[in-house]
Amino acid sequence: MLRITPDHPHPLFDIAATRRLEQAATAALPPHTLMQRAGLATARLALALAPHARTVWIACGPGNNGGDGLEAAAHLQRWGKQPVVTWLGDEAKAPADSLAALARARQAGVVLAAAPPTALTRQDLCIDALLGIGSARAPEGRMAEWIARFSRGVAPVLAVDLPSGMNADTGTFATNPIAESAISIRAAGGFHAQYTLSLLTLKPGLFTAHGRDAAGQVWFHDLGVDSAAQTPAAILQGPPLDGPRAHATHKGSYGDVAVIGGAPGMAGAALLAACAALHGGAGRVFVALLDPQAMPVDTSQPELMLRCASSLDLAPMTAVCGCGGGDAVRHLLPKVFSTAAHAVIDADALNSIATDTQLQTLLRARTGRDGSARATVLTPHPLEAARLLGASAVQIQADRLGAAQQLVERFGCVVVLKGSGTVIAAPGQVAAINPTGNARLATAGTGDVLAGMIGARLAAGRPAFQAACEAVYQHGLAADRWPEDRALTAGELAAANR
């Protein structure tokens, strides 16, 4: 059993691949083996998480997720824990594995309770074994009532396989898969589990959209099944593998970044991106501000070379384009697309592309299918992604991996779909989901910082997908390590990045 942290990469498998693995393993093993392993793993983790629990409530659903709960109940009962088990199944309809688990639970002395326990303390534990990957609709009736109890109570919740009701592929909830609410997961029909034990495979939905909030601390048990035969839907990213810089290098070795943006009133966005590129290791950083009244030098960052956009030779450079660019950036995009060696396209530049088919054609024309030649990285947040795809932000959030792939197919670029569990997708690559970062990044300017960080890595010659993955990871990691008592501002984040 593994506790999942951002320190290592992990393959993530969707429901279809998980079902295929389950079927193959079931056929190769004695009956009920997988569920028995799942139940034992659940019981062990429950005991480790709540060693002093006086009451363990196991809420079991009608399918095999409920079966895992019943198997766990049998073990806990034998270990002297006397779990309170409520089961929503029907013996006439329950799947065979689940029925076998029910029989084993009864044999161990478990008596099914008619209702959940009324008074649970912080030391107690709820085990959510209502629904797993078979969740098909919004929970109603007693199931919905029990899920609401998880939220209301003080006892921590251990979700078996997934927080019940969550879609394992997308990290959304069936009640309202489209709820934008980052604040209220309950509005989205979900709840916060403190722990989730993902079984057989790790699922992408645990790490993006509402999944990160809903799943809490994620644990994983492979049930002894090797997943190598299936292609992952995504990779949960691990840390960058880059070593220290070689001694025999100079500023030319790390390339030039040109930040183009900062229309009147928005110079700060471009300067933040430039600062991030500088601290991210770019050899030289030029800034073309689109405000005619802009200052000729930034005295707080004299390393930045402020130039007029028309004077920049972008051919050998990485353009970071759009940060605070307003509508003024639009007329510069044809030059950027046709000349810049590499490009990061952010914010207002994305909005310009969304409404201009000629720009879309130029954008598609610059990227080789391998994503490396004249590499281009698009960095939309969900609303920008929605504009690019002619959809709503709600639709983007309902399937973030799918939306990122659609953008890749449409524009042939590397795509960084920002938000909780940022998705990085590229032509011909298995997508990545970033495990770092937190809500403290939800503040003005942090997106500009990310664009600059990606730009610095592109300028240093990293392949575009790798540059994007590394920058997103480090950006999130900086936020995760940010001191609790210090406000996280984009300016400080830009200066702190590596």
Ligand X SMILES: NC(=O)C1=CN([C@@H]2O[C@H](COP(=O)(O)OP(=O)(O)OC[C@H]3O[C@@H](n4cnc5c(N)ncnc54)[C@H](O)[C@@H]3O)[C@@H](O)[C@H]2O)[C@@H](O)CC1
Annotated binding site, which residues? 64-68, 128, 132-138, 161, 164, 269, 324, 381, 418-422, 447-448
Sheet holding 431-433, edge to edge: 10-12, 234-236, 431-433, 423-425, 414-417, 376-378, 342-345, 318-321, 256-261, 284-289, 305-306
Q: Which of 128, 69, 146 is nearest to 102 (CA)?
A: 69
Look at residue 136 and give the partner it binds from ligand X, K ion, none, a contact being a CB closer than 5 to 8 Å depending on partner kind.
Answer: ligand X
- Spacing of C-alpha 495 from chain mean position: 25
Residues 315, 343: Cα–Cα separation, whole Å: 11
8 Å CB contact between 235 and 10: yes
| Shortest Cβ 133–ligand X spacing (Å) | 4
What is the maximal distance between C-alpha atoms in the chain? 81
Give the Cα separation of 204 and 421 in Å (integer). 10
Show contacts with K ion in window 39-58 (CB under 5 A): none
Q: Kindly indicate which of the ranges 107-115, 157-165, 249-257, 285-293 contains the residues binding K ion, using the contact rule CB under 5 A.
A: 157-165
- Name the DSSP letter for residue 326: G
Nearest residue (CB) to ligand X, 37 versus 457 = 37
Q: Which two tokens stand for residue 76?
A: 């806990």
Nearest to 351 by CA among 396, 387, 405: 387
Report d(CA 208, CA 205) in Å as an integer.
Answer: 6
Q: Does 62 bind ligand X (CB under 6 A)?
A: yes
Q: Which stretch binds K ion (CB under 5 A): 19-27, 154-162, 432-440, 475-483?
A: 154-162
Measured from the CB of residue 237, what is the shortest distance to ligand X in angstroms?
Answer: 24
CA atoms of 399 and 386, how far apart (whole Å) = 12
Instruction: Please give the span between the terminal C-alpha atoms of the chain, in angstroms, as a whole number.
Output: 33
Smallest separation, CB 88 to ligand X (Å): 7
Of 199, 424, 425, 472, the one binding ligand X by CB under 6 A: 199
Q: How many residues bind ligand X (CB under 6 A)?
A: 28
Say if strands 234-236 and 10-12 run parallel, antiparallel, or are unpaired. Answer: antiparallel
Tell me the closest approach of the beta carbon of residue 96 to ligand X, in angstroms. 9
Nearer Cβ to K ion, position 117 or 165?
Answer: 165
Q: Applying CB under 6 A, does 61 fall inside the site for ligand X?
A: yes
Considering only residues 15, 45, 70, 159, which one is a binding residue for K ion as defined by CB under 5 A?
159
Q: With contacts defined by CB under 5 A, name the span among 155-163, 197-205, 209-217, 470-478 that binds K ion.
A: 155-163
Site for ligand X in 78-97 (CB under 6 A): 95, 97
Selection from 359, 364, 380 nearest residue 472 by Cα: 380
Query: Which of the listed partners (K ion, ligand X, none) does 476 bind, with a CB threshold of 5 to 8 Å by partner kind?
Result: none
**What one-letter code names the amino acid at 69?**
G
Instruction: Please pick, from the candidates 4, 21, 34, 451, the single residue that binds ligand X as defined by CB under 6 A.
Output: 34
Binding-site residues for (6S)-NADPHX: 64-68, 132-138, 161, 269, 324, 381, 448
The answer to whether 465 and 424 are in contact (CB under 8 A) is: yes
Which one of residues 164, 196, 351, 352 is an interface residue with K ion (CB under 5 A)? 164
Beta strand spans in 171-245 (E): 195-199, 217-221, 234-236
Q: What does 95 interact with, of K ion, ligand X, none (CB < 5 to 8 A by kind)?
A: ligand X
Under 8 Å between Cβ of 41 and 68: no
How far is 181 from 471, CA to CA, in rounded Å?
Answer: 26
CB of 3 to ligand X, least distance (A): 19
Question: What tokens does 162 get?
Answer: 């997934």
22 touching ligand X, by CB under 6 A: yes
Please tell me the total number of residues recorded for the chain in this structure.
Answer: 498
Convert residues 102-131 into a mask of x (bound to K ion by CB under 5 A) and - (unbound): --------------------------x---
Euclidean distance between CA atoms 346 and 351, whole angstroms: 9
Residue 371 contact among K ion, ligand X, none, beta carbon within 5 to 8 Å by kind: none
> Would you say 53 or 133 has its CB closer to K ion?
133
Q: For the window 107-146, what string marks contact with ligand X as x by the rule CB under 6 A? A: ------------------------xxxxxxxxx---x---
**The entry of K ion, ligand X, none that residue 228 binds, CB within 5 to 8 Å by partner kind:** none
Window contacting K ion (CB under 5 A); options: 152-160, 174-182, 370-378, 478-486: 152-160
The site for ligand X (CB under 6 A) is made up of: 22, 26, 34-35, 38, 61-66, 68, 95, 97, 131-139, 143, 160-161, 199-200
